[in-house]
Amino acid sequence: MAMPAAEMLDRMRAVVGDRAVLTDPADLEPHLTELRGLFRGKTPMLVRPASTEQVSAIVRLCWESGTPIVPQGGNTSLCGASIPFEEGEEIIVSLSRMNRVREIDPLNYTMTVEAGCVLQNIQQAADEVDRLFPLSLGAEGSCQIGGNLSTNAGGINTLRFGNARDLVLGLEVVLPDGRIWNGLRRLRKDNTGYDLKHLFVGAEGTLGIITAAALKIFPKPREEVTAMAAVSSLPGVIELLSRMRLATGDQVSAFEMMPRFGIEISVKHVPGVRDPFDQPYEHYALMRASAGRRNSGLRELVEETLAEAIEEGLVLDAVIAESEQQVKDLWRIREAIVEAQIPEGGSIKHDVAIPVSRVADFIEQANAVVEKTIPGARPCPFGHVGDGNIHYNVTQPVGMDRAEYLARWGELNDAVHRIVASMDGSISAEHGIGRLKREELAHYKSEVELDLMRTIKAALDPKGIMNPKKVVPEG
């Protein structure tokens, strides 16, 4: 740090108050590592501003002293983006005190919130005025909207409502030199040149700190139908999705796939999870369709489509939830897959997106490559097939040493990502690039694309203080 540490500390305290600057190792601990424990960082301090003006003053101080910053939301992105490096040079700016809903405008179908609002609280605030904020993901109880926007988060409703990028109308951002850009417009149409907000969406804090966002909200659905189907083949899962979309007039709001292995380990390891079918099947789809009014006929449409598919042999068995409890039980199976993998040993992850029509082909090719690379490894491809975002996780072979297996993470990633690239897919569909995939990104983007990324970074952050050495590969 260019400024002596003690002086920096004093000046930060003068901006946000003594209690909003953390230096005690015990207080810092949860902010230096992530759930997966891949990296462990160090920092001289964590600062907790309470207003945009305070963020601006903090960033200006860092700009003038050349002090690097890591913005941090809920710290759930798990690719090293939200924590500092081991050298301990960056200060962490946590947005968690900036958690006010500034405005809800039900008539305009918008709400304006501060960046540190926890996603679940935003959903609740919308619900209270009979509206829906559709972004929904496993980490919604702890991730923040600033983090969601900075990673362009998706989740189970992406199929119908798009990802974070599609849900934002305006942003307020503190730029790397401390200036505040107020782009909090709540307009559906604005054709006045470059759409600057989209630069900051998915930038993982490398271009500035998002302090507030104007978001779209939607009419709250009045009727929801949840169903789970056992499907006869992997391509059949995609065929069923397509048919459901057609039959319901695109009212499918979520469509998730699960393999037998996922169901098996969920039932085995997670209390309360039950297989809804009385015999095992290879492939499953869990879906939800939503309508704007009660007794809309949606349930009949879902029933008919499933019945036809059963007649043709596309679907082997199906259940439609009859009660709130059954809805919860079905979704519980899908959620349980995440934790059920842990007791099965090491798991090598691939967070990928493929064109929906190629998902089955991708999984078949990837499974073959896995078996060739590490015989006996157990693929657990599950997730948001509705938007082509598959969690292609691979659990270690039974009896293999965990560390020995995990040491092959890079090798397996390379092999699987090559298939992804051959299908014009993405090697990061949810968690971002951070530091985990930064070097790898250089292999999958063209020189032109990399050059554009570096140009944008240099233009907005010429001193390179904003989340340095993340996302944008070295030139």
Q: What is the largest CA-CA distance in the chain?
A: 75
Q: Which residue in 149, 118, 143, 122 sits closest to 133, CA to CA?
A: 122
Residue type (1 letter), 160: R
- Give the nearest distance from C-beta 84 to ligand FAD in angstroms: 10
Q: 206 vs 305, which CB is nearer to ligand FAD?
A: 206
Q: 115 vs 427, which CB is nearer to ligand FAD?
A: 115
CB 59 within 8 A of CB 177: yes
Distance CA 113, CA 211 (A): 9
Total interface residues for ligand FAD by CB under 6 A:
34
Site string for ligand FAD, 80-119 (x = CB under 6 A): -xx------------x-------------------x----
Q: Which residue in 457, 460, 432, 443 sits closest to 151, CA to CA?
A: 432
DSSP at 139: T
- Give the nearest distance from C-beta 470 to ligand FAD in angstroms: 6
Structure tokens at 434: 């951070």
Using Cβ positions, the residue closest to ligand FAD within the complex turns out to be 147
Site string for ligand FAD, 403-432 (x = CB under 6 A): ---------------------------xx-
User: b vs e for 51-65, b when ≥16 Cβ sit within 10 Å of the residue's Cβ?
Assistant: ebebbbbbbbbbbee
Residues 128-147 within binding reach of ligand FAD (CB under 6 A): 137-139, 143-144, 146-147
- Give the nearest distance from C-beta 460 to ligand FAD in angstroms: 12
- Residue 345 sits in the site that holds ligand FAD (CB under 6 A): no
- Residue 151 sits in the site that holds ligand FAD (CB under 6 A): yes
Q: How far is CA 470 from CA 42, 95, 204, 249, in A?
A: 16, 19, 8, 42
DSSP at 418: H
Among 73, 84, 221, 236, binds ligand FAD (CB under 6 A): 73
- Residue 77 sits in the site that holds ligand FAD (CB under 6 A): yes
Q: 56 vs 148, which CB is nearer to ligand FAD?
A: 148
Among 59, 91, 104, 210, binds ligand FAD (CB under 6 A): 210
- Residue 390 sits in the site that holds ligand FAD (CB under 6 A): no
- Residue 338 sits in the site that holds ligand FAD (CB under 6 A): yes
Neighbours of 441 (CB within 10 A): 18
- Residue 433 sits in the site that holds ligand FAD (CB under 6 A): no
Q: Measured in Å, how far apart are the chain's first and last C-alpha atoms?
A: 24
Q: 298 vs 472, which CB is nearer to ligand FAD?
A: 472
Among 46, 61, 153, 228, binds ligand FAD (CB under 6 A): 153
Q: 94 vs 305, which CB is nearer to ligand FAD?
A: 94
Q: Which residue in 355, 382, 451, 436 sits closest to 151, CA to CA?
A: 436
Among 43, 52, 67, 76, binds ligand FAD (CB under 6 A): 76
CB 44 within 8 A of CB 118: no
DSSP 149-207: HHTT---TTHHHH--HHHHEEEEEEE-TTS-EEEE----S---SS--THHHHTTSTTSS
Residues 167-206 within binding reach of ligand FAD (CB under 6 A): 204-205
**Contact positions vs ligand FAD (CB under 6 A):** 35, 70-77, 81-82, 95, 115, 137-139, 143-144, 146-148, 150-151, 153-155, 204-205, 209-210, 338, 430-431, 467
